[in-house]
Amino acid sequence: MIPSGNPTLEMVAAEAGVSRATVSRVVNGHASVAPEAVAAVHAAVARLNYVPNRVARSLASRRTDVIALIVPESTSTVFADPFFAPVVRGVARALAETDFTLNLLVASETRPEKTRRYLLGGNVDGALVVSHHSGDHSYLGLGDALPIVFGGRPLNPELESRHYVDVDNRHAAQSATEYLLGSGRRRVATIAGPQDMPAGIDRLAGWRDAVEAVGGDVSLAEHGAFTQQSGAEAVIRLLDRHPASGAGSASTGSASTGSAGAGFDALFAANDQMAAGAIQALRNRGLSSPADVAVVGFDDDAFAATLDPPLTTVRQPATELGVSMTELLVRLISGEEAPHRTIIPTELVRRGTA
């Protein structure tokens, strides 16, 4: 007969015919228990529907079985940017078969000490950090007190020894720009991301590598904030700074649209949101993609598939990024050796805009 109320460790011991200490060792995963005793305890746990007291286990093992996912962005950014959902999905997938649970910290940099106090207060066993900036402070000053894995290479010198998972942003951006050049385009502009973020810095550097290699114009660059609106504003600044040599036609020699053309015939945008904004702004100026300006984005998120025409882009496997970061952090928490840097491959997805 299964007893009423919440089963206790003592009840499991009596049901299994072993001591309370043996049950405790089995529940906490100690190896020094005979296989037949382990089987008896597991059977008793199943019959009684016993759930270990997590507080007591954490006091004994000094583990919380909790991982923090830190996003140093505003709440509106986190829930509007399609990059974050697949990352969280990957983290959840990697934790599904473990005892760890996930805490999401949308870390306001107006009070970074609040996040640091939480991280150092024994509340979590480790932390994942995504979408970080060079000026962030919420996860600094932790020293070796907590295992941390970054999504993207850390920019702060204090964090250079930390583990991270990333894509090769520079090489991917260079390859995307080379693809545009190889398709016959001659003046490839870019909308770069924020220069306080590793992706923004590296993707701009990759574009510049490709343009400089063919003697191109590296002044064809504007900066955005990884948002659709900032992409639209950036391409307007490009159009105003670099008008076509003849009004009414684009530099590719396409038919006149009745509006001023572009002094560039291709555009690499550092993410798909900015690419979407740029394409709409080009259209508002009477220019089309790819006829007037070929466009390549980066991420392959929801914006890429829903544009008309669909966006040619660099696929960044965000779900795999979340999985890889989490698996690496779990290894570090367990005391295992792990690679300092993990690079996930990207892929150029050819669609209608280039």
What's residue 59's pLDDT?
46
- For 110-130, write each residue's pLDDT tens digit: 677 888 888 888 889 999 999
Judgement on whether residues 289 and 175 belong to the same structural domain of the protein = yes
Instruction: Identify the band that residue 21 occupies on the pLDDT scale cut at 50, 70 and 90.
Output: confident
Give residue 31's domain range. Answer: 9-61
Judgement on whether residues 183 and 260 belong to the same structural domain of the protein = yes
What's residue 4's pLDDT?
52
Whether 253 has a pLDDT exceeding 80, the answer reads no
Kindly report the number of other CB atoms within 10 A of residue 302's CB atom: 15
Give domain status of residue 354, yes or no: no
Between residues 179 and 6, the one the model is more confident about? 179
At residue 115, the 3 state secondary structure works out as helix
Judgement on whether residues 181 and 309 belong to the same structural domain of the protein = yes
What number is the average pLDDT over the span 214-241?
97
CA distances from 53 to 27, 56, 197 (A): 10, 5, 42
Q: CB of 19 within 8 A of CB of 33?
A: no
Judgement on whether residues 296 and 242 belong to the same structural domain of the protein = yes
Judgement on whether residues 224 and 309 belong to the same structural domain of the protein = yes
Judgement on whether residues 149 and 137 belong to the same structural domain of the protein = yes
Give domain status of residue 350, yes or no: no
How many domains, in total, are found in the chain?
3
- Rounded distance, CA 151 to CA 172, Å? 16
Among 35-39, 171-175, 310-314, the range scoring the smallest mean pLDDT is 35-39
Whether 102 has a pLDDT exceeding 60, the answer reads yes
- For 288-329, write each residue's pLDDT tens digit: 999 999 999 999 998 898 899 999 999 999 999 999 999 999
Give domain status of residue 1, yes or no: no
Judgement on whether residues 155 and 173 belong to the same structural domain of the protein = no
Judgement on whether residues 94 and 47 belong to the same structural domain of the protein = no
Give domain status of residue 352, yes or no: no
Judgement on whether residues 156 and 174 belong to the same structural domain of the protein = no
- Rounded distance, CA 108 to CA 143, Å? 21
- Token pair 């300006």 is found at 293
Judgement on whether residues 299 and 325 belong to the same structural domain of the protein = no
What number is the average pLDDT over the span 15-37?
82
Beta strands of the chain (E only): which ranges?
66-71, 101-106, 126-130, 148-151, 163-167, 188-192, 221-223, 266-269, 294-299, 312-315, 341-344, 347-349
Give domain status of residue 332, yes or no: yes
What's residue 28's pLDDT?
67
Judgement on whether residues 248 and 292 belong to the same structural domain of the protein = yes
Task: Calculate the average pLDDT of the chain.
Answer: 87
Give domain status of residue 57, yes or no: yes
Burial class of residue 227, CB neighbours in 10 A (0-12, 13-18, 19+): middle
Q: Which two tokens stand for residue 274?
A: 């900015």
Instruction: Identify the band that residue 50 occupies on the pLDDT scale cut at 50, 70 and 90.
Output: confident
DSSP state of 161: T
- Token pair 């290699």 is found at 213
DSSP state of 49: T
- Rounded distance, CA 324 to CA 91, Å? 8
DSSP state of 109: T
Between residues 206 and 75, the one the model is more confident about? 206
Give domain status of residue 248, yes or no: yes
Give domain status of residue 3, yes or no: no
Whether 69 has a pLDDT exceeding 90, the answer reads yes
CATH number at residue 135: 3.40.50.2300
What's residue 256's pLDDT?
35
Whether 244 has a pLDDT exceeding 90, the answer reads no
Task: Provide CB contacts within 8 A for 16, sequence distance 6+.
Answer: 22, 23, 37, 40, 41, 43, 44
Whether 61 has a pLDDT exceeding 60, the answer reads no
What's residue 142's pLDDT?
73
Note if the pTM is more than 0.85.
Answer: no
Judgement on whether residues 310 and 173 belong to the same structural domain of the protein = yes
